[in-house]
Structure 1
């Protein structure tokens, strides 16, 4: 999960020798770094006497970020750190060379040459508001020296003028709409969301919220069309803008000051799910019980969204045992002679994701092997990501399984009268194309099993 940086290039190695180690401070701690998404905010254009202001500015941004959905619901999944990078001079450079230099009624930005640490400057690529640093290698080196376990970094620039940029490391000023700019740019860098105003021919490409498919039956956000003002809107009235489509008219990826649209919220949650597990810890955590005393207690500690949308299902030897419980007790009478399997599956049932129509399924499991006389013999924790598409489909579906332990997943396709019509084994990281053309039209259920335990089910529509 973490981006542990290996600086093997000579340039980075030389730079590492001279790069200063800065003060690092946590401004939000939700859990262990290895079990959270670590957002790191770096200072630029803050002198040593302005570092208190940097902490204030970073905290204001953080508070704004976690006041907006879906970050508000998933605040508990994040730690936030600041790196107090010291610049020789305050602010950011402004060459004054961009052809779109601001004029009335916008404030005039003075031409400046500033000795800041990362070299952030306005007028990048001949766009005045594009506040950017070309020194991404230096940013990587600072992160490697000071906080290598970051998941996403952002540069906050001590400048009162509007500006920002995306890229690997988003940049935002502290001027007008500072937090909105930073959150918008995080949409680019953290999730790969695209602008919902036309970004130009070089940046126009297929993405979560940008497509050339305007068919409501096949567009990638088809399950949201008609909900929460989601539609299929052209970027412009003439080519090439008219060949590209966005899901919403007033998403934050188009206009600052608005919410993320439903499609972008879903994409952000997908990213969060891909980086973290909702299971923070579990007990028993190892095979340590011998000559067990009954009942045996089993417990989960989960990372709950706000409000809690997690669901859990417990099975014992493949049969339902408990639902939506964080703790259960197993009696000796519940067990068969010999080896037994207790498994809990945890998934997020948030309505911010279109569950039935969504391609990806994320869920986490813990399995305990229990001998009725010897106690707990084995404990395994796993994290799954399963994708199934297209759905609906007429001829073929593609299924891919990824899981931490590399387990093979067995897929049973069941008709609505309960008959098993197809079984497929999916190896880890394998993408399998399955021919369903012989099936009758209608609704089916795809059941997914790991180690003979039903871990999830998904509706499949055959056209």
Structure 2
């Protein structure tokens, strides 16, 4: 299913970046990697996440054109598209599209291995692992004239299809991409829900934004993709506590994993992650309200001490995992009916419950079956009967009743 998403990234002071040991260099001169619209030098400042090899995350300001026009379609070459994971109709699955930069025509085998290693790393993390069958993953073979990307090392320029470059905004490991071109190539896939761009490099780096980026040949960079999909698919907040301010005094946050309420208030008001309070969480420890989240050191609380939304290499905490599953089903379909009295359900999701009813009465013998036995209608007497089937994900990883509504689908026929 086609949807769009962009992580929100409010400000980071340069002094904070320096205190965190980030490498700051003068911004590279404008080049093919940093295009400026013809006749205009207007730029805007955005904040992109910067990922350290030790797993810590911060943000850096970069300047981008204030308006980005679409490049003519003729400038984007046709590219081969290969399914890495193909679980069915793109309209009923969540479609992740991967594009590459700095891979020449003779390096597409390297690109393929980079893609598959990143996909394997993503689907080793829950809840991606248990819900893999809801996804399609498409690899677009973007061919570049030269191997590698700009400023790798610093001061080196290459002619590539997606204009990827390190030292974006003056920060060494911030890896940016021409999002317009990346999205144009991605649209050659059957459907697009999320785009990830891989660079042909072993140098550690990546970035958030409308198109998440990561170093294709770096064994640790896949965790950047996991974190960024927490934003773009799940709408989760960053749980680290620097880059915004000291004391937050604003209104409640919209994200499921950030709140202004401490434990007692959250439980008494039955809001946010109160249902998980005190439970052991996959990322370690128990769910509580930990001070420091969403770029503030005080006044915003996170559910756990150290999840992947705070430090790379960790797991999603329980509220984060719950929100991710609900978001998967917002973009993928739990079941489809391709013919009367029959449903198709995703394979591998072991918590699915299939319940058939005739005239409102549960037919116990049909529980879990994908096709209804018409012979059972004879005992119901002559005339028309209303047959329904409800497919529900019975996972205990989702507790919020409002979210659970999206984990069910019902189909009905008059027979």
> Using a 3 Å threshold, how does the CA distance of structure 1 residues 361 and 30 change in structure 2: closer, same or farther?
closer
Q: In the alignment, what sits opposite 1:260? A: 316
> Using a 3 Å threshold, how does the CA distance of structure 1 residues 33 and 117 change in structure 2: closer, same or farther?
same
Q: In the alignment, what sits opposite 1:345? A: 390
SS at match of 1:311: strand
Q: Distance in 1 between matches of 2:339 and 2:318?
A: 37
Contact kept? 1:161, 1:176, Cα under 8 Å = no
> Using a 3 Å threshold, how does the CA distance of structure 1 residues 121 and 10 change in structure 2: closer, same or farther?
closer
Contact kept? 1:166, 1:186, Cα under 8 Å = no
Q: Distance in 2 between matches of 1:34 and 1:327?
A: 22
> Using a 3 Å threshold, how does the CA distance of structure 1 residues 171 and 242 change in structure 2: closer, same or farther?
same
Post-superposition CA distance 1:248-275 (Å, at most 9, x none) = 1121111222111111111111111111
Post-superposition CA distance 1:146-187 (Å, at most 9, x none) = 125111111011121221112221111132512112211222
Q: CA RMSD in A?
A: 2.7
Contact kept? 2:390, 2:410, Cα under 8 Å = yes
SS at match of 1:43: strand
Q: For 1:36, which of 93, 103, 109 is the aligned residue?
A: 93
Q: Give the Å deviation of 1:359.
A: 6.6
TM score, norm. by length of structure 2: 0.73
Q: In the alignment, what sits opposite 1:250? A: 306
Contact kept? 2:273, 2:303, Cα under 8 Å = yes
Q: Distance in 1 between matches of 2:119 and 2:181?
A: 24
Contact kept? 1:3, 1:148, Cα under 8 Å = no
Q: Give the Å deviation of 1:336.
A: 4.9
Alignment of 1:90-129 (within 5 A): 90-94=147-151, 110-129=154-173
Larger Rg: 1 or 2?
1
Contact kept? 2:243, 2:296, Cα under 8 Å = no
Q: Give the Å deviation of 1:42.
A: 0.3
Q: Give the Å deviation of 1:317.
A: 1.1
Alignment of 1:211-226 (within 5 A): 211-214=259-262, 215-217=265-267, 218=269, 219-226=271-278
SS at match of 1:208: coil
Contact kept? 1:341, 1:369, Cα under 8 Å = yes
| Aligned residues between the structures | 333
Q: For 1:86, which of 143, 166, 190 is the aligned residue?
A: 143
Q: In the alignment, what sits opposite 2:201? A: 159
Post-superposition CA distance 1:103-128 (Å, at most 9, x none) = xxxxxx54433332222222323433
> Using a 3 Å threshold, how does the CA distance of structure 1 residues 195 and 3 change in structure 2: closer, same or farther?
closer
SS at match of 1:268: helix
Runs of 4+ in 1 over 6 A off after TM superposition: none
Q: In the alignment, what sits opposite 2:10? A: none
> Using a 3 Å threshold, how does the CA distance of structure 1 residues 240 and 187 change in structure 2: closer, same or farther?
closer
> Using a 3 Å threshold, how does the CA distance of structure 1 residues 240 and 352 change in structure 2: closer, same or farther?
closer
TM score, norm. by length of structure 1: 0.66
Contact kept? 2:326, 2:404, Cα under 8 Å = no
> Using a 3 Å threshold, how does the CA distance of structure 1 residues 336 and 125 change in structure 2: closer, same or farther?
farther
Q: Give the Å deviation of 1:356.
A: 5.4
Q: In the alignment, what sits opposite 2:363? A: 321
Structure 1: which 5+ runs fail to align? 96-108, 285-297, 371-463
Q: Give the Å deviation of 1:327.
A: 3.2
Contact kept? 1:87, 1:115, Cα under 8 Å = yes
Q: Give the Å deviation of 1:40.
A: 0.9
Q: Give the Å deviation of 1:195.
A: 1.8
Q: Give the Å deviation of 1:201.
A: 2.5
Q: Distance in 2 between matches of 1:310 and 1:334?
A: 28
Deviates more, 1:17-26 or 1:320-329: 320-329
SS at match of 2:333: coil
Alignment of 1:14-413 (within 5 A): 15-94=72-151, 110-133=154-177, 135-144=178-187, 146-147=188-189, 149-174=191-216, 175-198=218-241, 200-201=243-244, 206-214=254-262, 215-217=265-267, 218=269, 219-228=271-280, 229-235=286-292, 240-284=296-340, 298-306=341-349, 308-322=350-364, 323-330=367-374, 331-354=376-399, 358=403, 360-370=405-415
Higher relative contact order (CA 8 A, sep 6+): 2
SS at match of 1:115: coil
Q: Distance in 1 between matches of 2:357 and 2:181?
A: 51
Q: Distance in 1 between matches of 2:190 and 2:373?
A: 41
Q: Distance in 2 between matches of 1:168 and 1:305?
A: 30
Contact kept? 1:349, 1:355, Cα under 8 Å = no
Post-superposition CA distance 1:28-51 (Å, at most 9, x none) = 222222222211110012122211
Q: Distance in 1 between matches of 2:405 and 2:172?
A: 40
Q: Distance in 2 between matches of 1:269 and 1:181?
A: 19
Q: Distance in 2 between matches of 1:336 and 1:126?
A: 77
